[in-house]
Amino acid sequence: MREYYDVELTKLNNELVEMGALIENAITHAVNALTQKDIEEANLVDKIEIQINQKEKDIEAFCLKLILHQQPVAKDLRLISSALKMITDMERIGDQSSDVAEICKIISKNSYVHNLKHITDMAEQMKQMVTQAVNAFVTKDVVLAMSVCKSDDIVDELFSKVQCDMIKLITEDSSKGAIALDLLMVAKYFERIGDHATNIAEWVIFSITGDHKLSGK
């Protein structure tokens, strides 16, 4: 019976990592859609988003089944309850990637020639955060998870830089107002993804240590 339970827990672990891989893909394609103005990439994100939603439901059902049948305690209970929380954050990341892709579809028709550096930096940074959060979960690495929590500040800082860029863009050329707003939305979504990555990292820390305070927030 317990052996079967262990197998189930490993399966849950793998499912979570798989979902992590899916959100990483979604983000990568969304960022590609933005930087390369590629509608194909944006469409890919929609497909992945459907998979992510399905995965969330599957994992949720699986977790409830585990709780009901196995009455987990201690570490196992923490893993399962954090899993339930993490999938919500992951699903939100999926949604936001798809929102970014949606905006990209609209603005790809226009040319946004101006400097995208801060937005791409943000994309790079939050992509790394998500990857590291998932890696921290895989390797059960508290230190790595804590570093993810810390790098959220970098994303926030970049966001305010993007804000300044957009204000400058509008004051220089008021006809670029629409695109500036769209780009600001993209940046905001990226910032939100960063926050969700931080949440995931915090849940990773909780599932390992059982302590919420370690994340330094």
Partner 1 sequence: MKLKTKITKKLLFVGIISILLTAVSLSFIFWYFFTEQVKSDLETCGNLAAEEYYKDNYEDFSYFKENGVRVTLIDKEGNVVTDNSTRSDKAKSENHNDRPEIIEAREKGSGESQRNSATIEKTSYYYARLLDNGYVLRVSQEADSVFSLLKGFFPLVVIIVLYVFAICLIFSAEATNGIIRPIKDMVIDPENVTYEELIPFSNIIEVQREKIKKHIENLKQEKEKINVLIANMSEGFVLFDMEKNVLMKNESAVKLLQANDVIKVNIINFSRAEKFIKAVDMALKGESNHIDLKIEDKEIQVLVSPVFHNNVQNGAIALIMDVTEKKKAENMRREFTANVSHELKTPLTSISGYAEMIEYGMAKPEDVKVFAHKICDEAGRLVALISDILKLSQLDEPLEQNQKQNVNLLDIAKECSENLKINADKRNIKVSCKGEDAVILGDKSLIYELVYNLCDNAIRYNKYGGLVEISIKKKEDKAILTVKDTGIGIPPEHQNRIFERFYRVDKSRSKKTGGTGLGLAIVKYIAEQHNASISLDSKLNQGTEITVSFMLNNNENI
Residue number with CB closer to partner 1 (29 or 118): 29
159's CB contacts (< 8 A; 6+ apart) are 122, 187, 188, 190, 191
Of the candidates 43, 158, 58, 162, the one whose C-alpha atom is nearest the C-alpha of residue 97 is 43
- The tokens for 206 are 């909780």
Answer whether 127's CB lies under 8 Å from 28's CB. Answer: yes
- The tokens for 192 are 């939100």
Should residue 56 be labelled a site residue for partner 1 when binding is judged by CB under 8 A? no
Q: Closest approach of Cβ 120 to partner 1, in Å?
A: 15
Should residue 142 be labelled a site residue for partner 1 when binding is judged by CB under 8 A? no
Should residue 135 be labelled a site residue for partner 1 when binding is judged by CB under 8 A? yes
Should residue 90 be labelled a site residue for partner 1 when binding is judged by CB under 8 A? no
Residue number with CB closer to partner 1 (124 or 157): 124
Helices and strands, counts by H and E, the chain: 6, 0
Should residue 25 be labelled a site residue for partner 1 when binding is judged by CB under 8 A? yes
Segment near partner 1 (CB under 8 A), from 8-16, 49-57, 67-75, 120-128? Answer: 8-16
User: Site residues (CB under 8 A) for partner 1?
Assistant: 10, 13-14, 17-18, 20-21, 24-25, 134-135, 138-139
